[in-house]
Structure 1
């Protein structure tokens, strides 16, 4: 009778894949022929390897459990132990092809680190002129204790005795075509070709640790809400000191109390009294280049626009700045006193505006447009 695979590995039938893997690695380090010359140990090593190959694969394990007895190798129920696994056949051809082609080497421990996305808020002034801003975030950095080697100080990885440092082992597969030899990743070293016996205590054998990092990010003028700036190699350091990923900084532009952006231009609204709109005035306007004098021409109408050239946004990769466009809003007074009403009526009479016009478009000044709002006050 063949021994039960679970008993061979010393694990319960509901053991997890990780528990099965650890049990096999423990057994392989003591039973492998390179470290244990006992013929019985070599035979047991073959059995535990066969057990592990079956139980680590969910499909093969399911078929083995359904076979009703040990040693069936994943055969179908009632198959008398002569069953086969179609995945083995595909593995067989893949392995044979790999052996005829270029040799399979160990799997590097080093891996590229992940990318990081961080968001930061900037002002509209930063959009106009560009700026530099510090960004602080937590990420994986190179372990200073082992410098990415993953080994404790004074130690180094040892060649895997199970695969002799190749990272792969030969496996005999029983198929419909007979016995064939394939190559499979070494389970003792997980395909790396070496084993770290003494892991670095600072990083637990990963070659990297978590730390806080601060970078100064250069933000060009003309960026928009949602723009992402890429900093290559400033993301997470990879496993075992592998290449770092990238850092992406996403920008959020705060709303401004005066200006809104329209492409390269900045748009503002300025409210002026109706008398200033009629007579003209000079209004101070705060801009990102300092206070500018806004000239309100006599007879300005509601919605008219005044342009201040070259005081807008500098677009990306261009030098010419946009403009500031100021829309005029005329303030219509409310709550007039009797004296104020009388003066407006006198003014209306002097302009011959006592009778409201109907039909067509009006061509009068600002008072012609707002007179009717005061007649009944």
Structure 2
């Protein structure tokens, strides 16, 4: 099982690019197989290099932070991970006079030629907003997405009828352009994708009239998404095979559904518990009463004992949110004593009598002035 990339490099999840680079430079010097006596140096060097290649690339890091290793492994091959990483200045700084393409060949088996490589389809991300009640009961939503699907005119080849496919004369069919520069530290080889054939190694003389040689067509599709009860805000659902089509027969990508749960007027969620505020009158707080509490499944009754204070909480077991493991949380009822802002003459008289009974001295001038408003 792969370790967390941040843990591998020994940096925090909010580390800057420079901090990530410094961490990799230190570890590369420590574990380079030609310099280290550690018997596991080669494996450790592979591990730290992969972690740096992902975390030093903004898009790959975003995918990793969102989906973890699954987001990288499902979308990128080893070649994809390392192709955009810039290791040259790091290796020069620590005294190694070669480019990373040589290291990749030695430890990872080298890059594949562009036209031999076929990529799976790109994963897609779609955000859905639902109500807390939807998260409580579970629901089904229909969404509309736009994605690449295989062109049915050319069956994804990109070639028109009777079109010739020739080897690219610029890269000689490799899909890559190599440029070697001599530096004070030795020869440095840079590999880039051939712009003429876009890394395919082959050129289509007469592209498909529908997809213009891409092998794809842009299509809008409606998809039904089942949202399980108990889902939490920020969770992602994975719909396998519902992303972009893959290149030339490779499997399609996946569609990730990001769940956003709107705030609810009556309930606040705390993990699998629900919290609600219930206002009661002063007489109910003093004398106690049986009161009704609203839940998503109807009304529940609870007993308020005499002398209940504002801020006290009561728990109704099993009436909170369901969880994905089927066990429900509790409903937490927080009591607030509702102090009236207006009183009838009789109510005011009774309150004054109660104050006298309790030996509470009232400033009648202030009291009368306030209640005349």
Alignment TM-score, normalising by the size of structure 2 = 0.57
Cross-structure match for 2:270: 262
2:291–2:302 contact (8 Å) kept in structure 1: yes
For structure 1, the 5+ residue unaligned runs are: 1-89, 176-183, 357-370
CA–CA separation in structure 2 for the residues paired with 1:343 and 1:185: 88
**CA distance in structure 2 between the partners assigned to 1:199 and 1:304 by the alignment:** 73
Equivalent position SS for 1:107: helix
Secondary structure of the residue aligned to 2:116 is coil
Q: Quote the offset at 1:329 in angstroms.
A: 1.0
User: Counterpart in 2 of 1:291?
Assistant: 299
Cα distance in 2, alignment partners of residues 373 and 258 from structure 1: 38
Residue 209 of structure 2 is aligned to residue 208 of structure 1: no
1:310 aligns with 2:318: yes
2:230 maps to 1:222: yes
Task: Name the SS for the 1:376 alignment partner.
Answer: helix
Pick from 133, 144, 159: which aligns with 1:125? Answer: 133
Quote the RMSD (CA, aligned, Å).
4.1
Per-residue deviation at 1:227? 1.8
Deviation of 1:187 after TM superposition, in Å, equals 8.8
Q: Which residue of 2 aligns with 1:354?
A: 359
Structure 2: gaps of 5 or more residues: 1-97, 183-191, 369-373
Number of corresponding residues: 256
Equivalent residue number for residue 364 of structure 1: none
CA drift of 1:278 comes to 2.6
- Contact conserved, 2:139 with 2:227, CA < 8 A, in 1? yes
Q: Residue 309 and residue 248 in structure 1: after superposition, are their counterparts in 2 closer, same or farther (change >3 A)?
A: same
Match of 1:331 in 2: 338
Listed as ranges, the matches of 1:59-98 within 5 Å are: none
How big is the shift at 1:157?
4.3
Deviation at 1:121, TM superposition (A): 0.3
> Partners in 2 of 1:187 and 1:205 — Cα distance?
15
Preserved CA contact (<8 Å) 1:167 1:190: no
Structure 1 residues 373, 148: CA separation in 2 closer, same or farther (over 3 Å shift)?
farther
The question of 1:376 aligning with 2:363 is answered: no
Contact 1:207–1:241 (CA<8 Å) still a contact in 2?
no
Residues 348 and 151 of structure 1: CA distance in aligned 2, closer, same or farther (over 3 Å): same
Distance apart, 1:338 and its partner CA: 3.8
What's the offset of the Cα at 1:188?
Answer: 7.6
Contact 1:167 1:189 in 2 (8 A): no
Identify if the C-alpha distance between structure 1 residues 103 and 265 changes in structure 2 by more than 3 Å, giving closer, same or farther. Answer: closer
Corresponding residue number in structure 2 for 1:341: 348
- Measured in 1, the distance between the counterparts of 2:295 and 2:257 equals 28
Does structure 1 residue 275 correspond to structure 2 residue 263?
no
Q: 1:320 corresponds to which residue?
A: 327
Query: Which whole-Å CA distance do the structure 1 matches of 2:257 and 2:124 have between them?
Result: 8
Per mean C-alpha deviation after superposition, the further-off stretch among 334-343 and 199-208 is: 334-343
Q: Distance in 1 between matches of 2:300 and 2:321?
A: 16
Matched residue of 1:301: which SS? coil
Q: Distance in 2 between matches of 1:343 and 1:188?
A: 92
Q: CA deviation at 1:294?
A: 3.6
